[in-house]
Chains A and B, each alone.
Chain A
């Protein structure tokens, strides 16, 4: 059902944990739906120097969190801002259609942490004001391949 990449990131996820005094913390999803992602960012200047996550969810939710953190670590805030769920899913060699919402959750967790960073630091990030989280409809995403 899952690609080897997904299983690898599920069994040995990267960047699990928390960051003390994180510059931005984001949490998305809810326990009722069976997945919650919490993302911690350490940001120096423009660069995300460290990122950690904690996730309650299925195998692909954990793998998506792990892959998303890998994709933004060492990148600029703008690059993180532009990370799409599709990029996360592609980096995992694809997710089953019913699991695509996990990659969306990962994208949103990062944006949520960036919003928190922006609020705390006063740094404006282009595009953030347009972000709209709609947890309830995550599961109704059109199926992609």
Chain B
């Protein structure tokens, strides 16, 4: 079987060596609690400050606008619940989309049980929201727009700057879940009129369990986690120093090498897409042809089920993922694939391959060739394929 080919970078990424090297001293050497007064803890304070500066620089934000969290889900929860509860007197309406990550969707659903009203915008066949729909959805009671920067399943990148402009024009706060975009897309929170932005370290070759929320200066928000005075009284809990250091280093590396990484990823992505289209019938590329994450490939293979595809790939040493219901044990396939208008039976046969900078052309070609055999084997077993063949 040989070595594993990892193509699930949207799920998580390995920690880069340079990142780990910077993190390691903060476990046993500089372990001081930054809230303490002695010299040891000073090292921790400086480390956090440096990381905050690095994150701020990557986003075009001020250092004081960056708050460290326990990851992307916490950042999403904080942004949405924090703004909603703080601004309840001004209004109770939130606008989001049908294709958000569950960290946003389930948070919005929770708020619906607490007296908030939520509009879930539709998307087109490419997963793009309609800006007119957005503007029409805004009412006097709208307090927050939360729209993801880039979709985790199909990779579609939303017109964030235009969304920011609409939000600003109507005086509504704009949060974006940028967990998949940070490290892969140029972001300038000021230019894009973003008020709040969620990010996570482990999607950009940093460690798991740490993320950040950018909160534009002057925005009223309740804390999510109360307790000590950490993060300027906005996020309690002793800081995950090593994690924060890792996030800072990882985000700096990502933006220092953004163009080089992206041109490589886009070239691999296009090669994989072309290979699959050329070699396999009855396939559909999900997501936008150009406005998509550099490493995202998402296909539906008709007449077969996604989990069977993933298991077969795994047997050949290839790690991918699927929006298939059978991987999660739920009845419905991916809400994202249903939102872009795919029928259930086609949405069941989806495969996401998310590329990373360590992937090679040889790996891409091997994966495409492996898929040919796997898809053929599974289709020969499928009663749905037999019907199509019989109809020819």
Contact = CB atoms under 8 A, between A and B. Distances in A.
Interface of A: 2, 7, 10-11, 13, 16, 18, 27, 31-38, 54-59, 61-62, 96, 98-99, 139
Given A31-B345, A32-B344, A58 B386 contact: no
A56 B307 contact: no
A56 B326 CA distance: 12
Given A32-B345, A34-B348, A61 B305 contact: yes
Contacts of B311: 2, 7, 10, 58-59
Please provide the 8 A-B residue pairs with the shortest distance between their CB atoms, ordered closest to farther: A98-B329, A31-B345, A58-B326, A58-B307, A34-B348, A54-B383, A32-B344, A38-B383
A33 B331 contact: yes
Nearest to A56: B382
Contact of A18 (B326, B344, B386): B386
Contacts of A32: 344-345
Contacts of A61: 305, 308
8 contacts: A11-B312, A16-B381, A34-B326, A34-B348, A38-B383, A54-B382, A57-B326, A96-B329
Nearest to A1: B311
B1 interface: no
B382 A55 contact: yes
Contacts, number: 71
Contacts of A37: 383
A113 to B, nearest CB: 13
Contacts of B331: 33, 139
Interface string B307-320: 11001100100000
B97 interface: no
Nearest to A53: B381
Interface bracket on B = 20 to 34
B308 A59 contact: yes
Given A34-B325, A58-B307, 18 more contacts: A7-B311, A16-B381, A31-B344, A31-B348, A31-B384, A34-B326, A54-B383, A55-B381, A55-B382, A56-B304, A57-B326, A58-B305, A58-B306, A58-B308, A58-B326, A59-B308, A59-B311, A99-B329
A2 B307 CA distance: 12
Contacts of B307: 58-59
Given A32-B344, A32-B345, A34-B325, A56 B380 contact: no
Nearest to B315: A11
A55 to B, nearest CB: 6
Nearest to A59: B311
B333 interface: yes
B324 interface: yes
A82 B308 CA distance: 29
Contacts of A99: 329
Interface of B: 303-308, 311-312, 315, 324-326, 329, 331, 333, 344-345, 348, 380-386
Contacts of B382: 54-56
Contacts of B305: 34-35, 56-58, 61
Contacts of A13: 381
A17 B326 CA distance: 23
A36 B315 contact: no
B315 A27 contact: no
Contacts of A27: 383
Given A11-B315, A13-B381, A33-B331, A62 B308 contact: yes
A62 B378 CA distance: 9
A33 B329 CA distance: 11
A117 B384 CA distance: 22
A58 B324 contact: yes
Contacts of A33: 325, 331, 344
Best-buried of A2, A32, A56, A139 by chain B (most CB within 10 Å): A56
Contact of B380 (A16, A35, A57, A59): A16
A33 B382 CA distance: 15
A34 B306 CA distance: 9
Contacts of B384: 31, 36, 56
A97 B253 CA distance: 43
Contacts of A55: 381-383
Best-buried of A16, A55, A57 by chain B (most CB within 10 Å): A57
A10 B383 contact: no
A4 B326 CA distance: 19
A37 B381 CA distance: 10
Contact of A54 (B306, B325, B345, B386): B386
Contacts of B380: 16
Contacts of A2: 311
A112 B329 CA distance: 25
A19 B315 CA distance: 30
Contacts of B386: 18, 54
